[in-house]
Chains A and B, each alone.
Chain A
Amino acid sequence: MSDALAPAIRIAATRRVTEEAPLTRYLLIGVAVAFLGLFLLLPLAVVFTEALTKGAGAFFATFDEPDARAAIRLTLLVAAIVVPLNAVFGICAAWAISKFSFPGKSVLITLIDLPFSVSPVVSGLVYVLVFGSQGLLGPTLSSHGIQIVFAIPGIVLATIFVTFPFVARELIPLMQEQGTVEEEAALTLGASGFRTFLTVTLPNIKWGLLYGVLLANARAMGEFGAVSVVSGHIRGLTNTIPLQVEILYNEYNIVSAFALASLLAGLALVTLGIKTLLEWRYAGQIAGRRRH
């Protein structure tokens, strides 16, 4: 009798009540893997494959093109202006919002998040409405020889707009969680306000800051819609990498288009890699992954 019962007991012990039957489990895993493979991995693979169809020579030749080089330079320049500005803004906003209590705080947070709910094309459009030839300030500025849209300043502004919330919305919840007690301790020990920020606050938020900067940078370098509206598409002058990719693709210069695109795809992979690393290693020191 005990022999007859033994296998039944063993089966009951291997499958916990909180698990699905193995078949269901494999089926679900299969569906998820197939879906992610089809929709995420395959497009990614296409980028690198298409870039290398004509061999490494054609791939690298892309980057010798003056227009491609200009696009890369412009993208780096824009990111170098936009990311630090938005990082400083993010720190200031997070400091004011998380370390103090004042009425209207939630409205302010909503306003900071606003650019995320605006279509990239609309983000570009609003700058055209302000600085375009029919815009509010456009005619005045152009009479003084200042060109904003269809020039680099417009690209910078549109990129600032679309990456505006990244650092702030990473730091705000993080700093709210951390409270003010360590800062108070530093103050009682005689540290000045700025010193307190540098020696106490900054070390506490450094990984969160890096996380936010990383995401802002990826978006800044890859932004297409908003920049497309304000750029004017002047080759060698106002084309960022994504815009140059578009032009090459539309000219059926597929290898060059994908070669340049692979640069951005590589950046995306590096970003994801560091982001994942930060989430594993410093889970407690970043506000973590939330919606973007």
Chain B
Amino acid sequence: MSASTQIVKRKARSFPAPSVIPGFRATFGFTLFYLSLVVLFPLSMLVIRASELGLAGLYGVAVEPRVAAALRTSFFISFAAAAIDVVFGLVTAWVLTRYEFPGRRFLDAIVDLPFALPTAVAGIALAALYAPNGWLGEPLADYDIKIAFTRWGILVALVFVGLPFVVRTVQPLLAEIDVELEEASATLGASRAHTVWRVLLPPILPALLTGFALAFARSVGEYGSVIFIAGNLAYISEIAPLLIIVKLEQFDYAGATGIATIMLAISFAVLLAINLIQAWSQKRFGHV
């Protein structure tokens, strides 16, 4: 390099990595600002209030009989609903991706209904359907089966809410299965059932788990579709989100904060579990 060469020195490292694409400052700045204002700031308020309660305070809220009962109700029924969704979601996804039959496309589109239908609408519809004088409630009452205004009602609502999570998580994987895999299994002498059970389903397992976790997480926090059909009897059919509202109406902010924090912690635990499942799946099967 000759002495006359003028060397323009630039920063070695920069944030972001150098690029000719313009607009990073403005868009990144607005993103951070809006995210902080609308999401992070209010959420941090919850964290601050919870830390004021302390672990002892949170524990105190959690063991309060009515709260404990509501958390138990929310948890166990959400778990059961997610499990039911896994079974029927898998069958639904399988049928929708593997078979051709009239109405398939319509059913495929309608699977997303629980995403699109406002929860309050789903709630009153389910309540009307299963009420003692409803289309389903009336015949069931003849057999002394009561669904609306019992815990079974909560289960029905949560199965409704969680279904698309399982179907939409599993469906893409089923669609991508290489037919040669099945053919290979068949040429090796495996029966069809054996092929499905030992060749097709194992790679789907992580997706099923993910779908289960998503449905479960959504169910625990669900409010609108449940409260109309649940009956909302304290200690029996009262869900945790409803109890938050009850506490707020009683101006028991500490109680509301406590329940919310416990629910939030559970959501994050589930989120973490999903990430772990996906990391494992990525390593084991090369896909999520």
Contact = CB atoms under 8 A, between A and B. Distances in A.
Do any CB atoms of chain A lie under 8 A from CB atoms of chain B in the complex?
yes
Interface of A: 17-21, 25, 28-29, 31-33, 35-36, 39-44, 46-47, 50, 89, 91-93, 95-97, 99-103, 108, 111-112, 114-115, 117-122, 125-130, 132, 134-136, 157, 160-161, 164, 180, 183-184, 187, 192-194, 196-197, 215, 218, 221-225, 228-229, 241-243, 245-246, 249, 254, 257-258, 261, 264-265, 268-269, 271-273, 275-276, 289-292
Given A102-B17, A223-B118, A272-B112, A120 B223 contact: yes
A214 to B, nearest CB: 9
Interface size class of B (residues with CB under 8 A): 35 or more
Given A25-B99, A100-B17, A164-B38, A125 B260 contact: yes
Interface in B151-167: 156, 159-160, 163-165
A132 B42 CA distance: 12
Contacts of A126: 42-43, 45-46, 260
Nearest to A260: B121
B236 interface: no
B183 A17 contact: yes
B237 interface: no
Given A130-B45, A183-B21, A272 B179 contact: no
B107 interface: yes
Given A32-B91, A93-B31, A132-B253, 20 more contacts: A17-B182, A18-B186, A28-B91, A28-B99, A41-B110, A43-B126, A43-B160, A96-B28, A100-B16, A100-B24, A102-B28, A122-B221, A125-B256, A128-B248, A129-B46, A187-B21, A222-B118, A224-B223, A242-B118, A258-B124
A122 B120 contact: no
14 contacts: A17-B192, A18-B179, A18-B186, A40-B110, A47-B121, A99-B19, A99-B21, A118-B267, A119-B241, A122-B221, A225-B241, A261-B120, A268-B118, A289-B112
Contacts of A130: 41-42, 45
Contacts of A97: 31
A52 to B, nearest CB: 13
A130 B41 CA distance: 9
A134 B107 contact: no
Given A89-B30, A197-B23, A264 B117 contact: yes
B128 interface: yes
A228 B20 CA distance: 47
Say whether chain A's binding surface is mostly helix, strand, loop, or mixed: helix
Given A42-B129, A125-B244, A224-B224, A218 B31 contact: no
A124 B245 CA distance: 10
A89 B31 contact: yes
Interface of B: 15-17, 19-24, 26-28, 30-31, 34-35, 38-43, 45-46, 49, 88, 91-92, 94-96, 99, 101, 103, 105, 107-126, 128-129, 134-136, 156, 159-160, 163-165, 168-169, 179, 182-183, 186-187, 192, 196, 214, 217, 220-224, 228, 241-242, 244-245, 248, 251, 253, 256-257, 260, 263-264, 267-268, 270-271
Quick one: which of B16, B31, B123 has the most chain A CB within 10 A? B31
A42 B19 CA distance: 54
Contacts of B129: 42-43, 46
A253 to B, nearest CB: 11
Q: Which 10 A-B pairs have the closest CB atoms?
A: A119-B221, A222-B118, A193-B22, A102-B16, A225-B223, A224-B224, A126-B42, A17-B186, A43-B125, A268-B116
Contacts of A243: 120
Contacts of B220: 119
A44 B243 CA distance: 28
A41 B192 CA distance: 32
Contacts of A218: 116
Nearest to B160: A39
Nearest to B40: A111
A47 B129 CA distance: 9
Given A99-B21, A119-B221, A290-B168, A32 B107 contact: yes
A68 to B, nearest CB: 14
B238 to A, nearest CB: 13
